[in-house]
Amino acid sequence: TEPVCECNSCYSGPDCSHFLTDCIADANGGDPLFLEPFWTQHAASSAVVVAGWHRMSYSYNNNGFISKELERLIRKLHAVVGNAVTQNRYIIFGAGSTQVINAAAYALSPDNSSSPAGIVASVPYYALYQQQEEYFNSAKFKFQGDPYTWRNKTDSGAYTIEFVTAPNNPDGRLNKALLQGPNVKTVYDRAYYWPHFTPITAQADEDLMVFTLSKLTGHAGSRFGWAVVKDETVFNKMTIHMQINSMGVSRDTQLRAFKLLKTALKGEGRELFDFASQTMKARWEKLSSIISLSKRFSLQKINPEYCIFYSKVREFSPAYAWVKCEREEDKDCYAVLQVAKITGRAGNAFGAEDRYVRLSLIRSQDDFDILIQRLNKLVSEENGAK
């Protein structure tokens, strides 16, 4: 018979309890299932029931395709966390931040320039910015790699869009923009700027900031993201993009996002953040204590900073481990880990050397436990062989 649950790739059997000792630890994708236990604890209060007749229209009472209630709740969320200024700012929704990032690239490109805007992001960077540019192949923008190599063009007036990922995917650092100038536009991808992953060092106040439900509540499958935008013209262009691209975000998704955020913000609105940051802290400490015993592998090191949400100095607890293979001969770190039955994501996917591999720490508890088991074995073999 079919199992009643969907087994992790390392388990089988009708109740997924049989451990497959030879399986491969999956630390590849950024599926944020580490938050699942929070939502099983709040199953009833976070549930949504939608009657058949509800919200059938393209619009909210002939007033656009953004739920004003949800917009208000998002402003409240940012005020509670203190991670972004939203007063006197516009907010736009997208199908995940994936669609919002695309809308931003279109909105920030020049209307009638003979040459496309250069899109840049510092290495190691999240691959999507480049993939979207290459796939959509627009006359408006072109991916140009690292800001350092494009800097001279910017200085001579070329239109530039810099994507700044803060905290960064893959290495968790709070990146800052590298380029400035009259024709430079900056998009801050703030997908991970939540107490789960980083000290909240200041209320972010950039011109265009992108957020997502995916890494906040863990509901990557609902496909809900938003941007906080200073400039009205940019906001209007992004709105037109969303209209032409998809007529806005599914009303069902907006309702689900509303219910989830409402549940998360109940009471003092800290419970989700406490759960998420404690989980990530425990995972990071476990992982770093193993890697600290190794000379063959090393991890990114980020100095602690003062967190305005927790009112104390805090360590980072990043969503991903950015592992470096230190031995001269281990040029392909992905292959080294594959031999040890660990699947990560190779450095070249982030414009970096293959001496680096990203390991996801935000997956389910089973995935994380198996990863730790495999890493423990790998590092103890290294030390035993000395």
Residue of 116, 124, 147, 225 interacting with ligand PMP (CB under 6 A)? 225
Q: How many residues bind ligand PMP (CB under 6 A)?
A: 13
Candidates 92-100, 195-203, 238-246, 299-307: pick the segment binding ligand PMP (CB under 6 A): 92-100
Cβ atoms of 247 and 223 closer than 8 Å: no
Minimum distance of ligand PMP from residue 3's CB (angstroms): 28
Enumerate residues 1-30 that contact ligand PMP by CB under 6 A: 30
Looking at 27, 103, 121, 191, which residue binds ligand PMP (CB under 6 A)?
191
Structure tokens belonging to residue 76: 């409240």
Cα 118 from chain centre: 23
Tell whether residue 83 is a contact of ligand PMP (CB under 6 A).
no
Q: Contacting ligand PMP (CB under 6 A), which of 169, 239, 253, 300?
A: 169
Q: How far is CA 261 from CA 45, 67, 140, 257, in A?
A: 11, 13, 36, 6
- C-alpha dist (Å) from residue 354 to 144, 219, 295, 361: 20, 31, 18, 20
Q: Does 126 bind ligand PMP (CB under 6 A)?
A: yes
The residue whose Cβ lies closest to ligand PMP is 96
Long-range contacts of 46-49 (CB under 8 A, 24+ apart): 46/259, 46/260, 46/263, 47/259, 48/255, 48/256, 48/259
Task: Check residue 133 for interaction with ligand PMP (CB under 6 A).
Answer: no
Position 216 contacts ligand PMP (CB under 6 A): no
HSE, side-chain direction, 13 A CA sphere, residue 124 = 26
Residue 187 vs 371, nearer CB to ligand PMP: 187
Least distance in angstroms from the C-beta of 294 to ligand PMP: 26
Q: Select 217 or 379, whichever has its Cβ closest to ligand PMP.
A: 217
Terminal CA-CA length for the chain: 48
With CB under 6 A as the contact rule, the residue among 212, 239, 253, 300 that binds ligand PMP is: 212
Residue 122 as a binder of ligand PMP (CB under 6 A): the answer is no
Binding to ligand PMP by residue 260, rule CB under 6 A?
no
Nearer to ligand PMP, 276 or 290 (CB): 276
Which one of the spans 75-83, 95-103, 174-182, 233-241 is the region binding ligand PMP (CB under 6 A)? 95-103
Tell me which amino acid residue 345 is. Answer: R
Q: Which is nearer to ligand PMP, 102 or 109 (CB)?
A: 102
Under the binding rule (CB under 6 A), the answer on residue 98 touching ligand PMP is yes
Residue 40: CB partners within 8 Å, gap ≥ 6? none
Q: Which one-letter DSSP state was computed for residue 122?
A: P
Instruction: Calculate ∠ Cα 100-106-111, nearest 5°.
Output: 155
Q: Is 258 in the site for ligand PMP (CB under 6 A)?
A: no
The residues facing 12 across adjacent strands are 18
User: Is residue 97 part of the contact set for ligand PMP (CB under 6 A)?
Assistant: yes
3-class DSSP assignment, residue 366? helix
C-alpha 98/C-alpha 31 separation (Å) is 14
Q: Give the whole-angstrom CA distance, residue 248 versus residue 93.
A: 7
Q: Which of residues 30-49 bind ligand PMP (CB under 6 A)?
A: 30
> Which position among 214, 253, 277, 343 is part of the footprint of ligand PMP (CB under 6 A)?
214
Distance between CA atoms of residues 103 and 105, nearest Å: 6
Binding region for ligand PMP (CB under 6 A): 30, 96-98, 126, 165, 169, 189, 191, 212, 214, 220, 225
